[in-house]
Structure 1
Amino acid sequence: MFAEERQRLVADRVAEVGRVSVTELAERFSVTTETVRRDLAALESAGALRRVHGGAVPAERGVTSEVSLLERQIQNLLEKHAIAEAAAELVASSRAGSVLLDAGSSTEELAERLMGTRPDGNSLVIVTNALPIADKLAADPNLNVQLLGGRIRPLTRAAVGPATVEAVERLRPDLAFVGTNGLHAAFGLSTPDAEEAGVKAAFVRCARRVVALVDHTKFGVETLVQFARLDQLDAIVTDRAPEGDVAAALAEAGVEVVEAGTP
């Protein structure tokens, strides 16, 4: 295989899965890791990807880059639907009386599936810092919906800041569902914004059981601010089971991996 053809396939792979490792590419194309690194350097120079420690990510993905909530809502829709269905089953099977929902597109999908689940009047308490989630859930009279206060961040329409963190720290919910921009074997869970990270970290500290909703494109990704170590999680719900370093790190940390089936 010529270098140009291999590099095109490498670029396609990065675009498809979101992050690739040097080792994975070397095995995939039966070349040395040095050859892969030269390919990645050439592709980075051409603007086709961005090199990171141990591999590469799409060119537009930087540690501080962040898309709007509206953009996230239309990305990986089938995967997010499946993740939300599996997460809703966790709520039902755990018989949780209180649930903390982080802001984000995956947690908003979960919120939709929690509506209408308590018709018997045995109210489920749902606490969230997300305006869209609170507005959606408020239409269900059998849910006890509580909205956390704080400064509203326009990009995510979520309450953030010291007041939000202080309010979270007074809670002890049965379950917390958090979203993340990246899940990395060494760096853990991260997000580009420090205030969002502060709230997410408080969610992780306060809940009896912490579950991260993570589609496969987030595996191996590091963004600017860490908000949780892997050993602070009880489980992740994902559309595709992780492999390699991420899978090994989750297993070592004792994190349950719930793989949601996609259509």
Structure 2
Amino acid sequence: MGDSRNLLAEQRRALILDEVRRRGGVRVNELTRTLRVSDMTVRRDLDILARQGVVAKVHGGAVPVADASSHEPGFEAKSVLELSAKEDIARAAAEFVVAGSAIALSGGTTTYALAQHLVDVPDLTVVTNSVRVADVFHAARAAAGPLGGTRAGAATVVLTGGVRTPSDSLVGPVADQAIRSLHFDVLFLGVHGISVEAGLSTPNLAEAETNRHFVQAARRVVVVADHTKWGTVGLSSFAALDQVDTLVTDAGLSGPARDEIGERLGLVVAGEGPEG
């Protein structure tokens, strides 16, 4: 994991979580040596990760929590997962956006990362059901001030309204009605899981319905998902793979998975360019 003496606490916990997921478990004494921090610091980090629901503490260390198909982690818990992969994906996905277009961004931590790459694209109309995504554009406008020029007018943001989920997405009949009346050039869609059999899926039934409307309203569907989402199946499927135009993912995706996906839709591996 490298020299982590000067890492911020959030970055350190992200490294711990990556190590837990990669190895299937870690011991406290191993982490203290690798991260060069105290036993107390590691235990405190594990306590926080356990409260977020992403690890389970065991005697002397921690193991990953296996997500049930109906379990939906909160935004903060998901935001510490695969940080570098999400940033790579966001940078690659931003290349699909042209000035003056109408785009939609669903909820999720990867679309949130993408939003931060789009605040300077001029004349965008952004439809989203994500409170966090909307906040990115509103914060950019506020930071620019009354004379902010291009950034101040970069995007018109339409927030759908609806009932808020643990991942800070707005779902339900209000969101669905708003989306049904609109049309987007490109939809950027975050997902809980993606597989050949189940297609795109989520553990939240209401979010599945809202995502169905998003897919139906888009001329082009781009899924942004890191490699850990491949093979994961949530409680409710909302789109088949043949309804997706492109998957933007990271270099951690295995060769066999790339072959399976490449036979069905466009594949962009961040940092490697398009395949298929």
TM-score by length of 2: 0.68
Would you say the 8 A contact 1:241–1:257 is kept in 2?
no
Residue number in structure 2 paired with 1:108: 112
Taking the aligned partners of 2:208 and 2:233, their CA distance within structure 1 comes to 13
Would you say the 8 A contact 1:180–1:191 is kept in 2?
yes
State which of 66, 69, 91 in structure 1 corresponds to 2:72: 66
The C-alpha deviation readout for 1:119-177, integer Å capped at 9, x for no partner, is xxxx1100101111112202332211111011222x11221101211211111100000
Taking the aligned partners of 1:90 and 1:17, their CA distance within structure 2 comes to 35
Residue number in structure 2 paired with 1:128: 128
Residue number in structure 2 paired with 1:257: 267
Taking the aligned partners of 1:14 and 1:115, their CA distance within structure 2 comes to 34
Quick one: which amino acid aligns to residue 134 of structure 1?
A: A
Would you say the 8 A contact 1:212–1:236 is kept in 2?
yes
TM-score by length of 1: 0.72
State which of 216, 222, 247 in structure 2 corresponds to 1:211: 222
Residue number in structure 1 paired with 2:145: none
Taking the aligned partners of 1:15 and 1:71, their CA distance within structure 2 comes to 14
Would you say the 8 A contact 1:178–1:212 is kept in 2?
yes
State which of 235, 246, 251 in structure 2 corresponds to 1:235: 246
Quick one: which amino acid aligns to residue 161 of structure 2?
A: G
Quick one: which amino acid aligns to residue 91 of structure 2?
A: E
Moved more, 216-225 or 235-244: 235-244
User: What is the deviation of 1:244?
Assistant: 6.2
Taking the aligned partners of 1:14 and 1:108, their CA distance within structure 2 comes to 24
Unmatched tracts of structure 1, length 5 or more:
1-12, 19-46, 48-57
Task: Please state whether the residue corresponding to 1:226 is helix, strand or coil.
Answer: strand
Would you say the 8 A contact 1:129–1:148 is kept in 2?
yes
Taking the aligned partners of 1:184 and 1:224, their CA distance within structure 2 comes to 13
Report % sequence identity. 36
The C-alpha deviation readout for 1:54-104, integer Å capped at 9, x for no partner, is xxxx65221112211011111111000000000111114xx5611100011
Q: Which runs of 4+ in 1 moved over 2 A?
A: 13-18, 240-253
Taking the aligned partners of 1:96 and 1:251, their CA distance within structure 2 comes to 30
Residue number in structure 2 paired with 1:99: 103
Unmatched tracts of structure 2, length 5 or more:
1-18, 25-55, 57-63, 142-151
Would you say the 8 A contact 1:68–1:156 is kept in 2?
yes
Would you say the 8 A contact 1:107–1:177 is kept in 2?
yes
The C-alpha deviation readout for 1:165-222, integer Å capped at 9, x for no partner, is 1211111100000111111111111110001111111111110000000100111111
Taking the aligned partners of 2:169 and 2:225, their CA distance within structure 1 comes to 19
Matched residue count: 205
Residue number in structure 2 paired with 1:4: none
Residue number in structure 2 paired with 1:189: 200
State which of 167, 172, 176 in structure 2 corresponds to 1:161: 172
Residue number in structure 2 paired with 1:79: 85
Quick one: which amino acid aligns to residue 215 of structure 1?
A: D
Taking the aligned partners of 2:211 and 2:69, their CA distance within structure 1 comes to 17
Q: Considering only aligned residues, what root-mean-square deviation do their CA atoms show, in Å?
A: 2.4
Task: Please state whether the residue corresponding to 1:222 is helix, strand or coil.
Answer: coil
